[in-house]
Amino acid sequence: MIAALHPDIVLGTKGFNRLETVHALDNLGISSYATDPHTVNDIIASSKKLADLLGVPEAGASLAAEMGHQLTNLQQRLASSPAKHVLFVVWHQPLISVGKHTFIADALRLAGALSIVDSEQDWPHVSLEEVARLQPDFLVFAASHSSSVSPTVETLATLPGWSIVDAVKNRRVAVIDDAVNRPAPRIISAIEDLARQLHPGSLC
């Protein structure tokens, strides 16, 4: 099906694609480019690299510079604001969050947040008891998740066990664009959006 579309290049991420797929594309004479970002700076670098591969290096350099400028400006504005402790909810039954070596965890940090999950795994399962022990200031969801994945805080409050989490009882939830899940330039907007929700006094 991919070959029938005659793409100039196929884009992918190493975490969600197999090396066998790359080899199969290569055998068909189809070029591919895979990224494996673990930080937001990695995303900026891969965006610039992709522009080079596509023959528009000036656009890539301009985009990378603008992304870097936006992040620098945000960090300056957040400099005096203590970081909020958050739980990023990838899935709620079972409860899955993000590990400390993912670009999402780095995006949280750049938004003035620290994940309460300190795991080497990229997608660790977390117990509600551990969440209750650590008591995050906010729960963070990506907006694209369906109601079965990221229920409203009112719904969460009715689910077994969630009432022991103060952020649920106090309705402290941040919902941001699902661009935070993708290693692409729009992640900067998601970071800025989260920062505004967590630190309104610094970014009003």
- Please check whether residue 196 is in contact with residue 74, taking contact to mean a CB–CB distance below 8 angstroms: no
Task: Return the higher-pLDDT residue of 111 and 13.
Answer: 111
pLDDT tens-place string over residues 118-157: 999 999 999 999 999 999 999 999 986 544 445 566 777 7
Question: Tell me, what's the pLDDT at 155?
Answer: 74
Mean pLDDT of 40-49: 96
Q: How confident is the model at residue 203, as a pLDDT?
A: 76
pLDDT in tens, 55-100: 999 999 999 999 999 999 999 999 999 999 999 999 888 899 999 9
Q: Flag whether pLDDT at 24 surpasses 80.
A: yes
Burial 176-192 (b: 16+ CB within 10 A, else e): bbebbbbbebebbebbb
For the stretch 151-192, pLDDT in tens is: 566 777 778 788 889 999 898 999 999 999 999 999 999 999
Residue 25 and residue 2 in contact, taking contact as beta carbons nearer than 8 Å: yes
The structure tokens listed for 63 are 């985009």
125 to 29, 45, 54, 91, 122: CA distances (angstroms): 40, 30, 38, 9, 10
pLDDT at 15 over 80: no
Residue 153: the pLDDT is 67
The pLDDT-based confidence of 16 (bands split at 50, 70, 90) is: confident
